[in-house]
A and B are shown apart, each in its own frame.
Chain A
Amino acid sequence: MSDPRGERLAAMMSAIPYVRFLGMNVELAGDEMTAVLPFAPHLVGNVMLPALHGGVIGAFLEMTAICQLGVREPFRRLPRTIDVTIEYLRPGRAHTTFARADVRKIGRRIANVHVEAWQEFRAAPVAALRGHFMLSPMEKTAG
């Protein structure tokens, strides 16, 4: 059972300390990836509600985009974020958060990715991200 996409993604994620800090993981069905962020007390930004920190949700969306690009193709280095716009739609409550990324365009150097996060209902997203990422494609072998 060798799944190069799954193995590549697992290797990439396990090498990133900040992924462990967030506690996020991913589920892969073919090339369709769902990122999962289990609730943890250290992710809280508002203790009154309580709600996840907006920065944590943004970070989770950004990391989901990078992981989805990793599923898509191999790179020499991790994709680097150029810019992101994060829209906050609802408070992220003390529940598990899910996210899916849609690679809208992938060029030689730059990719455009949209990501949406939700909790209990897919149709009621908590936040969305649109961003550009700098890629470092593998060198062509020989030539």
Chain B
Amino acid sequence: MDDSSEALEALGFRMAEATPQAAALGMRVISVEPGLAVMAVAHRADLVGDPETGVLAGGVVTTLLDHVCGLAVSSRQLAEGAAGPIATLDLRIDYMRPAEPGAEVTAKAHCYKLTHSIAFVRASAFDGDEADPVATVQAAFALKTGQEGPK
């Protein structure tokens, strides 16, 4: 139990502080468990996408969503003993509404299916109420686990 929570913590560190773009955005891991990840980005003036509204750029939310989806995949791979590099195949993002000006954005991802070579993930981003999301995403990732494995 302790080993696996340490491994998840190490994974969270690699995905936040140790990834240059995540660090540049100030991304933080809020929680991570197998197949389920939550990360957040605080509002910052240099990340604003529309000076009239002062809202975080869509690109920041895109990057946060891609990243938190990746963490959900990696954490599930880790729990299933199949850790390895992954690559985003595609992201379909719907932007429901702009985030509140000045608000921090949190994103929560669920890797709901992992096959030998592909992971399927859903995620949403919100600035307070999880039931009133800013954006939602459906993503697929390619798993580069090599040739081993029975399936």
Contacts of A15 in B (CB 8 A): 51
B117 at the interface (CB under 8 A from A): no
Contact with A along B56-98 (1 / 0, CB 8 A): 0111101111110000000000000000010111111111001
Stretch from B1-9, B28-36, B42-50, B108-116 contacting the other chain = B42-50
Contacts of B46 in A (CB 8 A): 17-18, 20-21
Contact with B along A35-47 (1 / 0, CB 8 A): 0000001111111
Smallest distance from the beta carbon of A98 to chain B beta carbons, Å? 17
- State how many residues of chain A have any CB contact under 8 Å with chain B: 36
Whether A62 touches B58, Cβ cut-off 8 Å, given contacts A17-B47, A56-B21, A88-B87, is yes
A101 at the interface (CB under 8 A from B): no
Contacts of A62 in B (CB 8 A): 58-59, 62
Q: Are A83 and B92 in contact (CB under 8 A)?
A: yes
- Identify the closest chain B residue to A84 (Cβ): B93
Q: Are A55 and B50 in contact (CB under 8 A)?
A: no
Smallest distance from the beta carbon of B69 to chain A beta carbons, Å? 10
Contacts of A78 in B (CB 8 A): 49-50, 52
Contacts of B24 in A (CB 8 A): 21, 42-43
Q: Are A59 and B90 in contact (CB under 8 A)?
A: no
Q: Are B66 and A91 in contact (CB under 8 A)?
A: no
Q: Are A77 and B21 in contact (CB under 8 A)?
A: no
Q: Are B47 and A45 in contact (CB under 8 A)?
A: no
- Identify the closest chain A residue to B66 (Cβ): A55
Contacts of B101 in A (CB 8 A): none
Contacts of B85 in A (CB 8 A): 46, 48
| 30 cross-chain CB contacts under 8 A | A16-B50, A17-B45, A17-B49, A18-B46, A18-B48, A18-B57, A20-B46, A21-B57, A41-B20, A42-B24, A44-B19, A44-B21, A45-B20, A46-B19, A48-B85, A53-B19, A53-B66, A54-B66, A55-B67, A56-B21, A59-B59, A59-B60, A59-B62, A62-B59, A78-B49, A81-B58, A86-B92, A87-B90, A88-B87, A88-B90
Kindly list the 3 A-B residue pairs having the minimum CB-CB distance in the complex, ordered from nearest: A59-B59, A55-B63, A18-B57
B-to-A contact residues, CB < 8 Å: 18-24, 45-52, 57-60, 62-67, 85, 87-95, 98
